[in-house]
Amino acid sequence: MPRVTSNEGKPYAEIGTLLRNLRLRHGMSQFELASSAGINNSYLSRIENGERRPSPKILKRFSEILDHAYDDLVVKSGILSEEFVRSTPPASQAKPDPTTQALQDLIQNLQHSPAVVTGTTSPESRRAVPLFDTVPAGLLKEANVVEAYDDVEKLILNEEELGFDPRAFALIVQGDSMVEAGILDGDVLIVSPNTSIANGDIAVVQVNRRTTTVKKVYLEGEHIILQPANSSYKPQVLSYPDEVEILGKVILVRRKLM
């Protein structure tokens, strides 16, 4: 069996190493496993490197593809403890197994905001938003981004951090085009589609429905200037809105710690 590199020191090293070993044991490439599980290859790479924890739904798919016990994957990922899984009595056939039921309850708590009785949302209320490494086409057409992308890793933030925007999402920065604005490779951006954008604001845009990029934006008539914050890069002048879709304003930057 091929030698597996160490994930020592990574937050989700145990599940990452296990999944990599299982994949290699089945003779699968990262691309093959990612394709079978319905996730992108870069996300699987981060999982195997111990940098990301897969969602319960993706763990279920890994369990079926790699022919490995779902309970063990859940425990190794740290979602539920081994003591909990062992101590929970078997469920009847009419009900989900204890692990699945516990995960369903957990997912529900994470993905849905608490009911608001007064008609206002507390700044301390927390909810999950999808964390993308590249934004899928048609994102802004979705009424509920959490439900539409329930297979994508989630980030849990309070309403103030999300700008009280129900359509907010998170994006992992790739590249160094915005370093002079304090945005570094690997940082996580919180993006608000419902926040108005003025010239000079930093926004996430999609070029020709394919490429996602983060730039300062300037609207001039029927054109948009995408201005990097790095003197090594040149600005782009493109037709708006034919070539560029503004996905949202960057309202928060979370620094990469590892």
- Ramachandran quadrant class, 231 (left: phi over 0; alpha: psi -120 to 50; beta: rest): alpha
What amino acid positions are annotated as catalytic residues? 177, 215
Contacts of 158 (CB under 8 A, 6+ apart): 123, 124, 125, 126
Burial zone of 230 (CB within 10 Å; 0-12 exposed, 13-18 middle, 19+ buried): middle
**Cβ pair 98, 90 in contact under 8 A:** yes
Cβ of 136: how many Cβ atoms within 10 Å? 15
DSSP assignments along 54-80, one per residue = PPHHHHHHHHHHHT--HHHHHHHHTSS
Q: What is the rounded CA–CA span in Å between residue 165 and residue 159? A: 8
Burial zone of 43 (CB within 10 Å; 0-12 exposed, 13-18 middle, 19+ buried): buried
Query: 146-170: b or e for each residue (b if 16 or more CB lie within 10 Å)?
Result: beebbebbbbebebebbbbbbbbbb
